[in-house]
Amino acid sequence: MPMSKQLTHLDESGRARMVDVGHKPDTERVAVARGSVIMRPETLQLIIEGNLKKGDVLAVAQLAGVMAAKRTSDLIPLCHPLLLTHVHVACTPNPDENRVDIEASARLRGKTGVEMEALTAVTVAGLTIYDMAKAVDRSMRLSDVRVVHKAGGQSGTFTVEE
């Protein structure tokens, strides 16, 4: 499916605007985003063992990601407030790559997509991991946050081949 060459969040004068989706039909929409938090091997081991003073890093990060997806329109100025029907966040240790891999999916039946909600979930989950482990590793970094799948709506299905 070809991409539009027009920025939808700008009016004819180049000013920012919220897109009017009132005319669009409600459809099932889903988006999946992924990213990682790269860290020192010993930091990942502390997270896996649950030995950080702030508690269960992965459980808190997953919850933070779900909460963030629900609040996306409060954080991103031109996002529509959405009635999400499902959000799932998984934070999976990857010892071979010294990172925690994060995947978030968001779903609804509505007039606009949920890519921003999935991306926000991944990002806030990653920031939560950083916050909870920064006392032992300030060199951690969020990496490669991206949409890997979306379906529904006029633009159809998009999947990144990884």
Catalytic site positions: 131
Half-sphere exposure of 54 (CA within 13 A, CB side): 16
Closest CA to 121 of 55, 75, 54, 155: 75
d(CA 126, CA 37): 6
User: Do 120 and 76 touch, CB atoms closer than 8 A?
Assistant: yes
Secondary structure element (H or E) that encloses residue 92, with its range: strand 86-94
